[in-house]
Amino acid sequence: MLTLFGDPTVWLPLVFAGLMGLSILIYVVLDGYDLGVGLLFSVAEDAQKDRMIAAIGPFWDANETWLVLAVGLLLVAFPAAHGMILTALYLPVLIMLIGLILRGVAFEFRAKVKPKQKGWWNRAFFIGSLMTALSQGWMLGFYVMGLTETATTYGFAALTAVCLAASYAFIGATWLIFKTEATLQKQAVVWAQRCLIFLVVGLAAVSIASPWVSPRIFEKWFSLPNIILLAPLPIACGALMLGVALVLKHLPTTTDRFAWVPFAGAVGIYTLAFFGLAYSFFPYVVPEKLTIFAAASAPESLLIMLIGALFVLPAIIGYSAFAYFVFRGKATELRYD
């Protein structure tokens, strides 16, 4: 069975790299929007916050499952890479975990405390979301720069931290446009327009930095015929950004017909950006240091884990899809009874 699809030391690492990449992409999109809603708590009115929570309440627990899956796949399939990456990023990972815990506690406690104390937990929800988003952005910047500790790396990581947090706020705002109505929907349009600028800056920064720090990545993108074959990727991404910006100018509409478009556009932008980044670093799981083939576990172990993944992954997709189906439509008034 190991040789059913060719050399198991090749196809099994590729399969697990694909599964891990898929998990990361889904996590960034799904938990990205509910982290973004948490970030928007800082500028929302108190009267709007319950409806914002109602827009993400049925989904946020399931969204975080994809982060657990991605980290679990990294640990079991690429243990050497897991050690190198976590060693270099242990502090932002710690901050992220604290942020996730604070956010989860605040989500539950704000519904159970006295009205006078609710503001404290709203602020805690925002702080937890901010810690999580900034730490993830820092890790992305540090990873793109090859996990090297220089002044330039720290500066770039700080830039990507701010831009990723703003891009989460952007996709969170597009989710609110889709799931809410009236005054909150109008305000979400304004938030999305402002945050889109930071998303553009962040993507531009990563696109410039990746080939700048790695001659190999520069060669992959700018040699012939690659530069021609890959041109549709950044062009499509730019077109989506422009399209979303134009649609936002005409929202909301009286029929609410196109409220889904900004969120769909945001998903498309994230997906194209992810594939561009994946192409840049493939086959390295640790930039310029460790490939997925060198870091992979033994083929026999990978095969056993793949069998388990074939049961776990459909289950996660199934209950996530079921939740989104059941709670489709506009977010209603938040109730805890």
Query: What average pLDDT does range 189-194 have in this prediction?
Result: 93
pLDDT exceeds 70 at position 3:
no
The mean of the pLDDT values for the chain is 88
Q: Is the dihedral of CA 261, 250, 39, 335 positive or negative?
A: negative
pLDDT exceeds 60 at position 252:
yes
pLDDT in tens, 105-157: 988 888 777 777 888 898 999 999 999 999 999 998 888 888 888 888 888 88
What pLDDT is stored for residue 4 in this prediction?
64
pLDDT exceeds 80 at position 91:
yes
- Of the pLDDT bands very low, low, confident and very high (cuts 50, 70, 90), residue 334 is low
